[in-house]
Structure 1
Amino acid sequence: MSCARSKTLHDHPLNFGKFLTRAIDVFPFAMKTTLALCSVASISLIFYFAFSNRSHNFPPHPNVVTDFNQNGISADGHEKTNISHILFGIGGSVESWDKRRSYTELWWKPNVTRGFVWLDEKPSPSMPWLETLPQYRVSEDTSRFKYSCPYGSRSAVRMARIVKESFQLGLENVRWFVMGDDDTVYFPDNLLSVLAKYDHNQMYYIGGNSESVEQDVIHSYTMAYGGGGFAISYPLAAELVKILDGCIDRYDKLYGSDQKIQGCLSEIGVPLTKELGFHQLDIRGNPYGLLAAHPVTPLVSLHHLDYVESIFPNLNPIDSVKKLVSGYKVDPGRTVQHSFCYDLRRNWSVSVSWGYTVQLYPFFVTAKKLETALQTFWTWKNWDARLFTFNTQPVSSDPCERSVVYMLDRVESVGGRETLTTYKRYNIDKGENDCIRSDYTHALKVEAFSVSAPKFNPDLWNKAPRRQCCEIINGTKGADRVVQVQIRSCNGFESVTPP
């Protein structure tokens, strides 16, 4: 046999017929017949698949999102999930409500959002109930249930039953039950974007874990943490309420209501579907690093805002969230969405967390580093600086390695289709801590960033996630003092790659 590479059918595709003819000549009659039939069948299949797709409508892939018209109606007559399909169950108490109701006022829309605050007792006449707040309901007596967690509170039983009591109200047109605490701040439009991705006729349990590993180890990695909020589809709620009361007694040793709910759902066999936009905020210190590097997903909720530093400096917790919400109201889907770009003329790296902050590095920083959260916080329980469920990086002790920070100052809607946000420089480290290197000194001359962007299309969340791109607009008047940035969709083959 020759050492040269033998030629195959692939080398001479047009000789396939000759090869088949010669093979048939040397085979017995039965084999000839079999091969002939196989050849005819193969050719028939080729022609079938080549032409049948032109005339047949195959069913869509199960993960394909249904198209809706401008009225939110699909071709088969189904209505797109809207805010009226969500019923909120807010766990509160008479003692805590007066202090925490300000958080609910930030996101609640009277006559738009649906739901109730569930209290442990009826408010006194001296505690007026404003019309701008959700109506309240008084929870049923839960003294008959067992609770044996030595370090917890029996209120967990009452909170766990909010799902059942909400379901038993029998309200019409409910697709999702969303549970949370009275200090949970929701971003309803973004919550809707998340839930609308899922088929509400299926049994879904949607939420997020704790950010601190210690909390997940103590409580669970497989449950949605109640402070960050979680959603249960109607069919799953219908099954849950059947076993909930007995389940609460079976899991009497568990600490929280969210643990008890997850224990019940594990009996039904429905796992947690994780969405990264639900934020328990089981952290201590400054949440800046987390929000400045938010994952590519809608911001759905924030919790524990009284236990962390204000998300905007020099503002109290309520006013801080109010400032963040001011941007959210103008462009919900873009809130804290991360973009970054490079200024090749000045060797700068710019990171934008829309509606929150801009960071300017007077040198090139890789995309991997820019997308990683700065360690401005500690864990919830032990104040540890390492154990988190997402990547973090330490804040450098060298001021010449840190960014110049700009915080949101103003949000404007331009022509109904675009937004303009302004960010002013915030001096975290003043005086002797400033870097005196020449490139850093030049960067410090920038007083503000002006960021323009088209309004975010929420339908983008139904597509494969991709961080949007931005570009620095040079050559404008006063560019050394106010830098202009434009956020846009990335081009097909575009990447954020430094030189």
Structure 2
Amino acid sequence: MSQTRSETSHDSFKSSKFFSFPEKLSKIFVVFMRLGLLFCLVASVLLALHSASLIRRRWPSFPERLSPSFPERLSRNASDQKSVPTNISHLLFGLAGTVHTWRDRSRYSELWWHPNATRGFVWLDEKPDTKVSRPGFWVPYRVSGDWTWFTRSQSAVRISRIVLESFKIGLPNVRWFVMGDDDTVFFTENLVSALASYDHNQMYYIGGNSESVEQNARHAYDMAFGGGGFAISYPLAAQLVKVFDGCLDRYYNFYGSDERVCACVNEIGVPLTRLRGFHQFDIRGDPYGILAAHPQAPLLSLHHLDYLEPIFPNQTQIESVKSLMDSYRVDPTRILQQSFCYNHRRKWSVSIAWGYTIQIYTSFLTASALQRPLLTFKTWRTGEDGPFTFDTRPVSSDPCEQPVTYFLDKVQEVGKSGTVTTYRRYVANQGKNCDTADHARAMAVQSIRVSSMKMDPKHWKKVGNLKLFI
């Protein structure tokens, strides 16, 4: 039995070995096929990932929609989570400049930059020669990072990337990134008060349009013009840096840096929040008309001053800005705010732009007329009389209908909450004079003193305020 089993087993083995070989070969072939397919699958996945990585480097995808929990996650990692009110230390300025323009334009920055308080940098295209730099070079500079891999409009790309590079510095306690040009004059106390009205833990894009309709139509109405300055909240900047370079590449055909920043902000879905106190000053000529009838808003910035006549007569532009700054520092909130009053006995209309100018008209003008700026300026590109984004009124050719004009001469503080400003009459060189008795009485007034209380910054938060009466 055992022998039989042994023989049977042996025969069975021989039979299995002889007749089952093709079946074993088939199994080995199947194993190799499966391994081959697995190898191909892994290789395909790796190749796809590598290709996607290359694509992202050159052409980043459009931003994904934010998940509901994004604000909470970001707020835990934001730069400043203390409940203290926003102050100047929470703003980081990024000024766009070049080594060729900064030497002269830095004079404007030195009028508003406080070395021990203001934070930020002017971003230059190359390292300046410190041997020829002027003394008093207060604003620290940085040289922009490599932007040459962008093949088109490299200067606009460099300036656009100031937002990204400012964020990547990683300074602590930044709530707002404020962008401007090297010739932008900021009124920082008003800017701080204005930005403090918004929740810096949310995504905000805050700025102003151009004064000239032709400029807005050429570029965009929903864009913050960069020379006038704009502010980006920390959470929005954090989202922008994720997609910025690819976004800039997508909009290579756009003209300016501010237009590109606006396009990238729009992709994230954040609209422009307009503040009327940002002044791009896309105008030519004399800015007097706008400044003498400033809109009901805090003065935040002035731009393009080198292309305009001096703010004050018989002064250089730098001297003019310094004169305006002298009154601004006494009462920042009230600077340029317009007030109306009437002398019923003499039938005079009086318009006061605090800290700057006074106009006396020898007739009654309505408030709606007085608050429309005199057309002392032209459009930026074509040098025409408009259109502008606000109403204007022409300067009459009749000297009897023109105002008797006064400019700030002196500003004084009275106690802790009062001020006295003095304005002296200005006589322009003009061919024709008004010979009426009413006009002669107005011309006899050589100076005007205005007493006022300092204006509370919280005024701008109140609803329904009309004009400020002094």
Alignment TM class, shorter chain as reference:
0.7 to 0.9
Amino acid at match of 1:437: T
Asked whether the equivalents of residues 103 and 134 of structure 2 are also in contact (C-alpha less than 8 Å), the reply is: no
Q: Distance in 1 between matches of 2:118 and 2:275?
A: 21
| Displacement of 1:193 | 1.3
Cα displacement string for residues 289-338 of structure 1 (whole angstroms, at most 9, x for unaligned residues): 00000011000000000001111111111111111011101110010000
| Displacement of 1:130 | 4.9
Unpaired segments ≥5 residues, structure 1: 1-75, 148-152, 471-486, 488-499
* Residue 223 (structure 2) pairs with residue 218 (structure 1): no
Q: Distance in 1 between matches of 2:244 and 2:203?
A: 16
Asked whether the equivalents of residues 277 and 301 of structure 2 are also in contact (C-alpha less than 8 Å), the reply is: yes
| Displacement of 1:357 | 0.3
Seen in structure 2, the aligned counterparts of structure 1 residues 174 and 469 have a Cα distance that, compared at 3 Å, is: closer
Q: Which residue of 1 aligns with 2:121?
A: 116
Asked whether the equivalents of residues 311 and 317 of structure 2 are also in contact (C-alpha less than 8 Å), the reply is: yes
| Displacement of 1:154 | 2.7
Superposition TM-score, scaled by structure 2 size: 0.81
**Could you tell me the percent identity over the aligned residues?**
58
Seen in structure 2, the aligned counterparts of structure 1 residues 267 and 334 have a Cα distance that, compared at 3 Å, is: same
Q: Which residue of 1 aligns with 2:166?
A: 166
Q: Which residue of 1 aligns with 2:334?
A: 334
Q: Which of 49, 70, 85 is residue 90 of structure 2 equivalent to?
A: 85
Cα displacement string for residues 221-270 of structure 1 (whole angstroms, at most 9, x for unaligned residues): 11000000000000000011111100111000011100000010110011
Q: Which of 103, 111, 119 is residue 108 of structure 2 equivalent to?
A: 103
Instruction: Write 1 or 2 for the structure with the bigger share of helix.
Output: 2
Amino acid at match of 1:445: A
Q: Which residue of 1 aligns with 2:436?
A: 437
Asked whether the equivalents of residues 341 and 469 of structure 1 are also in contact (C-alpha less than 8 Å), the reply is: no
Q: Which residue of 1 aligns with 2:447?
A: 448
Amino acid at match of 1:301: S
Amino acid at match of 1:449: I
| Displacement of 1:131 | 6.0
Q: Distance in 1 between matches of 2:401 and 2:364?
A: 11
Asked whether the equivalents of residues 414 and 420 of structure 2 are also in contact (C-alpha less than 8 Å), the reply is: yes
The SS at the match of 2:374 is: strand
Amino acid at match of 2:275: E
Q: Distance in 2 between matches of 1:249 and 1:78?
A: 39
Q: Which residue of 1 aligns with 2:274?
A: 274
Q: Which residue of 2 aligns with 1:244?
A: 244
Q: Distance in 1 between matches of 2:415 and 2:449?
A: 17
Asked whether the equivalents of residues 338 and 467 of structure 1 are also in contact (C-alpha less than 8 Å), the reply is: no
Cα displacement string for residues 360-416 of structure 1 (whole angstroms, at most 9, x for unaligned residues): 011111000000000000000000102100110100111111110001111111112
| Displacement of 1:132 | 5.6
Asked whether the equivalents of residues 296 and 465 of structure 1 are also in contact (C-alpha less than 8 Å), the reply is: no
Q: Distance in 2 between matches of 1:162 and 1:127?
A: 25
The SS at the match of 2:411 is: strand
Cα displacement string for residues 78-102 of structure 1 (whole angstroms, at most 9, x for unaligned residues): 1111111000001111111001000
Amino acid at match of 1:278: F
The SS at the match of 1:270 is: coil
| Displacement of 1:456 | 1.1
Q: Which residue of 1 aligns with 2:141?
A: 136
Q: Distance in 1 between matches of 2:197 and 2:179?
A: 19
Q: What value does the CA root-mean-square deviation take over the aligned residues?
A: 1.4
Amino acid at match of 2:462: K
Unpaired segments ≥5 residues, structure 2: 1-80
Superposition TM-score, scaled by structure 1 size: 0.77
Q: Distance in 2 between matches of 1:130 and 1:264?
A: 38
Q: Distance in 2 between matches of 1:220 and 1:146?
A: 24
The SS at the match of 2:121 is: strand
* Residue 144 (structure 2) pairs with residue 145 (structure 1): no
Q: Distance in 1 between matches of 2:134 and 2:159?
A: 21
Q: Distance in 2 between matches of 1:362 and 1:448?
A: 16
Look at both structures and tell me which one has the larger radius of gyration over its CA atoms: 2
Q: Distance in 1 between matches of 2:266 and 2:468?
A: 41
Q: Distance in 2 between matches of 1:194 and 1:124?
A: 37
Q: Which residue of 2 aligns with 1:301?
A: 301
The SS at the match of 2:363 is: coil
The SS at the match of 1:408 is: strand
